[in-house]
């Protein structure tokens, strides 16, 4: 199936406070949880749910105040994402790149592009990535190219193919990572992000995502053939990733939020299943599964694990808040390094918790929980798929090098 773009909602709410944002997130999460298993089973893309997310105003949380937004702190956004992930991890994953690229616009885009993107988002517009590619030697290899258009110094042409384009099927704007090989206009060679309408001529968005988990994220292929883009719609990626802006830590914080949310969602489902459907093991000598002392013990252990991941997320969020606030004035490499390390610690813990808790769900719930109709395996599949995003083993490397040798972690992170 191939599609492009989506109609914008008739109206989008304006959220005026952190408390309101969290309240709206909880209300939506409760709604999204209903039907999440069926959407996963049938691979039914959540178009209506994503429209509701736009209409709620949550997707405009980080729009700067000078453009009429709440300008929510990273820690607030992370809590919102975690709440949504506990209900439906695919829905929580979809706006990840939306918020990451809004941050790039905030940090590095010109005034006209900022006004265009932020005004659109306040009206319900959605941004999605077209960043990664298949076939390169590493994930950092980019073959998509920006070529100056004949006869117009301010116009370029985009050609290439992208994969893992999460949320692209729901997007109004695509953020396309491409390389410029030679100087053009006032642009130096390097990597640029082009912000283009998702329905631009020459754009093809293909629904070919077939992973075992996060099945409804719309993370398929984007093909670009002679797509026109103006110089004013290009943002140099290095301006955010090679400077102490906390850009990488910000993006990684949202990944941690998804993992922590998956763990909480899996544990919540396990509690409900054991309370309402599970039978006690006959040797326990009790009438209800909730009275089996070994089950009680295991749930206690799992709650400690999940609460630890959540606490690490909160701590990392506060550190990223500080780094982002400082970078708006005098950028601090030290603060950004501390934020990156705090997020790396949190990611290591969340990675160690999300998949095991989603697996332990079956251990504590018994054989009935493995029946296909329960769809409880979706949490494990989502956790397994999402935690592969970037290898957590490198987080330990960054932490160890920082601790032993005082080496700063990479500024860009993996986003």
Pick from 382, 332, 336, 333: which is nearest to 359 by CA? Answer: 382
Cβ-contact 303, 361 below 8 angstroms: no
Query: How is residue 340 written in tokens?
Result: 């990156």
Q: What pLDDT does residue 412 have? A: 67
Query: How is residue 238 written in tokens?
Result: 């290095």
Separation CA 100–CA 343 (nearest Å): 15
Cβ-contact 209, 222 below 8 angstroms: no
Q: What pLDDT does residue 328 have? A: 75
Question: Beta 234-236 vs 190-197: how paired, if at all?
Answer: antiparallel
Q: What pLDDT does residue 150 have? A: 83
Residue with tokens 């797509």: 227
Separation CA 76–CA 296 (nearest Å): 33
Query: What phi and psi, each to the nearest 5 degrees, are found at residue 161?
Result: -140, 135
- Block mean pLDDT (10 aa), the chain, length 415: 59 93 98 95 96 97 97 98 98 97 96 97 97 86 93 89 96 97 91 97 96 94 97 93 89 97 96 92 94 96 98 98 85 90 97 95 85 84 92 94 94 61
- For the chain, give the secondary structure using H, E and C: CEECCCCCCCCCCCCCCHHHHHHHHHHHHHHHHCCHHHHHHHCCCCHHHHHHHHHHCHHHCCCCHHHCCCCCCHHHHHHHHHHHHHHCHHHHHCCHHHHHHHHHHHHHCCHHHHHHHHHHHHCCCCEEEECCCCCCCCCCCCCCEEEECCCCCCEEEEEEEECCCCCHHHCCEEEEEEEECCCECCECCEEEEEEEECCCCCEEEECCCCCCCCCCCCCCEEEEEEEEEEHHHEEECHHHHCCCCCHHHHHHHHHHHHHHHHHHHHHHHHHHHHHHCCCCCHHHCCCCHHHCHHHHHHHHHHHHHHHHHHHHHHHHHHHHHHHHHHHCCCCCHHHHHHHHHHHHHHHHHHHHHHHHHHHHHHHHHCHHHHCHHHCCHHHHHHHHHHCCCCCCHHHHHHHHHHHHHCCCCCCCCCC
The alpha carbon of residue 10 and the mean position of all alpha carbons in its chain are separated, in whole angstroms, by: 25
Separation CA 170–CA 268 (nearest Å): 29
Q: Which residues of 241-265 are buried (b: 16+ CB within 10 A; e: fewer)?
A: bebbbbbbbbbbbbbbbbbbbbbbb
Pick from 184, 199, 113: which is nearest to 145 by CA? Answer: 184
Q: What pLDDT does residue 413 have? A: 58
Radius of gyration of the chain (CA): 22
Cα–Cα distance list, 33 to 26, 76, 303, 371 (Å): 10, 21, 20, 19
Q: What pLDDT does residue 340 have? A: 95
Question: Beta 127-130 vs 173-180: how paired, if at all?
Answer: parallel
Cβ count near 330 (within 10 Å): 8
Separation CA 83–CA 161 (nearest Å): 33
Q: What pLDDT does residue 21 have? A: 98
pTM of structure: 0.95
Q: What pLDDT does residue 332 have? A: 84
346-398 confidence digits (pLDDT tens)? 999 999 999 999 999 888 888 888 877 778 899 999 999 999 988 899 999 99
Q: What pLDDT does residue 205 have? A: 97
Q: What pLDDT does residue 1 have? A: 41
388-399 confidence digits (pLDDT tens)? 988 899 999 999
**Length of the chain as a residue count:** 415
């Amino acid at each position: 199936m191939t599609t492009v773009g989506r109609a914008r909602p008739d109206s989008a709410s304006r959220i005026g406070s952190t408390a309101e944002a969290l309240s709206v997130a909880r209300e939506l999460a409760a709604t999204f949880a209903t039907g999440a298993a069926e959407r996963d089973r049938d691979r039914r893309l959540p178009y209506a749910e994503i429209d509701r997310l736009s209409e709620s105003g949550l997707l405009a949380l980080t729009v700067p105040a000078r453009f009429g937004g709440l300008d929510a702190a990273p820690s607030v956004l992370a809590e919102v994402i975690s709440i949504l992930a506990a209900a439906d991890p695919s829905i929580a994953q979809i706006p990840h790149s939306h918020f990451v690229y809004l941050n790039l616009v905030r940090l590095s885009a010109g005034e006209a592009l900022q006004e265009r993107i932020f005004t659109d988002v306040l009206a319900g517009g959605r941004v999605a990535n077209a960043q990664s590619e298949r076939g390169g030697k590493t994930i950092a290899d980019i073959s998509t190219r920006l070529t100056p258009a004949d006869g117009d110094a301010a116009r370029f042409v985009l050609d290439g193919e992208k994969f893992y384009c999460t949320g692209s099927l729901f997007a109004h704007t695509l953020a396309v990572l491409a390389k410029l090989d030679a100087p053009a206009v006032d642009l130096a060679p390097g990597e640029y992000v082009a912000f283009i309408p998702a329905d631009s001529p020459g754009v093809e968005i293909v629904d070919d995502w077939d992973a075992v988990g996060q099945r409804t994220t719309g993370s398929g292929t984007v093909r670009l053939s002679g797509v026109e883009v103006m110089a004013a719609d290009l943002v140099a990626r290095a301006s955010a990733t090679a400077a102490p802006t906390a850009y990488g830590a910000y993006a990684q914080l949202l990944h941690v939020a998804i993992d922590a949310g998956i763990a909480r969602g899996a544990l919540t489902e396990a509690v409900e299943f054991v309370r309402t459907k599970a039978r006690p093991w006959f040797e326990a000598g009790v009438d209800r599964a909730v009275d089996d002392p070994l089950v009680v013990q295991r749930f206690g252990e799992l709650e400690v694990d999940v609460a630890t991941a959540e606490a690490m997320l909160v701590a990392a969020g506060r550190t990223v808040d500080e780094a982002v606030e400082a970078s708006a004035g005098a950028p601090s490499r030290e603060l950004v390094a501390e934020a990156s390390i705090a997020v790396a610690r949190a990611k290591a813990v969340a990675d160690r918790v999300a998949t095991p808790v989603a697996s332990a769900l079956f251990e504590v719930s018994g054989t009935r929980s493995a029946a296909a109709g329960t769809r409880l395996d979706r949490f494990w599949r989502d956790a397994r798929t999402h935690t592969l995003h970037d290898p957590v083993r490198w987080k330990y490397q960054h932490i160890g090098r920082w601790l032993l040798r005082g080496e700063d972690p990479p500024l860009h992170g993996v986003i």
